[in-house]
Amino acid sequence: MAIHKKEAFTQKEQDLAEFAKAIAHPARIAILKVLASRNECICGEIVEVLPLAQSTVSQHLKELKNAGLINGTIDGPRNCYCINWKAFEKFNTEFNILFDTLKVKNEKACC
Amino acid sequence: MAIHKKEAFTQKEQDLAEFAKAIAHPARIAILKVLASRNECICGEIVEVLPLAQSTVSQHLKELKNAGLINGTIDGPRNCYCINWKAFEKFNTEFNILFDTLKVKNEKACC
DNA sequence: TCGTTTAATCGTATATTTGCGATATAAAAT
DNA sequence: ATTTTATATCGCAAATATACGATTAAACGA
């Protein structure tokens, strides 16, 4: 892969792809569910619930944070994570827009 | 990565992750748009529109097909591709379910 | 039958992802 | 000040993904 071609596409396409990539792993979907299932923001409890090592969970959290899907605030020796609803809603909307766009453009199926 | 841990998660989580992975590349989003933009099923025209080599587009199409998002029927020397609306709708629904699930569980944000 | 056209596949190179153990860091508690 | 606790990060190994050119295959037309 000499050159990355991602830049050749729309910013929206890139953003949406990045979001999809963030949730493109069952572990990260599971992490989001754990985060949502507790009203207070949990951190290391995820490790107890999931069948993954602490370092692996930490890495997944980092990716989710990089994608902007979760927030993290330092709270003593522990870190408080929670879902970034603003970003989440935004991407949910973007997704639906994509779906609708495809649907509108393609009224009749062909094969 | 000695062992794959994907099997350790829910089937729904795996399915959703696989779908997300399929659209986790701007090229594939663009391909879906091209497919939807034509009423008749196009194939090699994608290569003309996208800044990618023929083999690369073929590979992306294969991944989309493996994920079940598009159908392909042989039509002479050319291949007819189009969006699999059934699968697409299903995943759209699954996505919204995930979003709603997260939302319901987490009434009040914390950070 | 032979060439043309279209698409898939092969081979290759490189980048990224995934996972873990080990180590480092940073705040709280003793 | 030192220990404990919770996380992040480093280093490594292996798997996947990405991209391309070259080759193969398959069907149509001359």
A46-72: per-residue pLDDT in tens?
A: 999 999 999 999 999 999 999 999 998
Has residue A86 been placed in a domain?
yes
Condensed to tens digits (0 to 9), the pLDDT of residues B51-94 reads: 999 999 999 999 999 999 999 877 767 788 989 988 988 988 99
Residue B47 contacts residue B59 (beta carbons within 8 Å): no
Residues facing strand D, Cβ within 7 A = A 1-6, 43-44, 47, 54-55, 58-59, 61-62, 72, 77-79; B 1-2, 4, 21, 24-25, 27, 51-56, 59-60, 63, 74, 76-77
The answer to whether position B94 is within a domain reads yes
Helix (H) / strand (E) element for B70: namely: strand B70-75
Inter-chain contact B83–A102, Cβ cutoff 8 Å? yes
Q: How many domains does chain A have?
A: 1
Q: How far is the CA of B68 from the C1' of C2 (A)?
A: 38
Residue A88 inside a domain? The answer is yes
Query: Do A102 and B88 lie within an 8 Å CB cutoff?
Result: yes
Q: What is the pLDDT of residues B7-16, one digit of tens each?
A: 889 999 999 9
The overall average pLDDT reported for chain B is: 86
* CA B77/CA B19 separation, integer angstroms: 29
The total of other beta-carbon atoms located within 10 Å of residue A34's CB is: 18
Report CA B5 to chain centroid distance, whole Å: 22
A81 within some domain: yes
Task: State the DSSP H helix or E strand holding residue B43, giving kind and residue range, or none if neither.
Answer: none
Phi first, then psi, for residue B73 (nearest 5°) are -125, 140
| Any domain includes A80 | yes
Q: Is residue A66 part of a domain?
A: yes
- B13 contacts on A by Cβ (under 8 Å): 26, 29-30
pLDDT of residue A5: 79
- The answer to whether residue B63 is domain-embedded is yes
CA of B23 to C1' of C20 (A): 29
Please indicate whether, in this complex, the C-beta atoms of A39 and B14 are within 8 angstroms of each other: no
The reply to whether the CB atom of residue A54 sits less than 7 A from any atom in nucleic acid chain C is: yes
Asked if A46 and A80 touch (Cβ cutoff 8 Å), the reply is no
Name the residue with the least CA to C1' distance from nucleotide D23: B55
Which pLDDT tens digit goes with each residue over A78-102?
A: 788 989 988 988 988 998 898 888 8
Q: Which of A33, A30, A54, A107 is nearest to B106 (CA)?
A: A33
Query: What domain range includes position A79?
Result: 24-98
Residues of A in contact with B71 (CB under 8 A): 111
Give the CATH number of the domain where residue B54 resides: 1.10.10.10
B90-99 core/surface letters (b: 16 or more CB in 10 A; e: else): ebbeebeebb
Question: Which of chain A's residues have a Cβ under 8 Å away from the Cβ of B41?
Answer: 110-111
In a domain, B24, yes or no: yes
- Nearest CB to A37: which of B17, B82, B105? B105
pLDDT of A43 reads: 77
Beta bridge partners of A73: A80
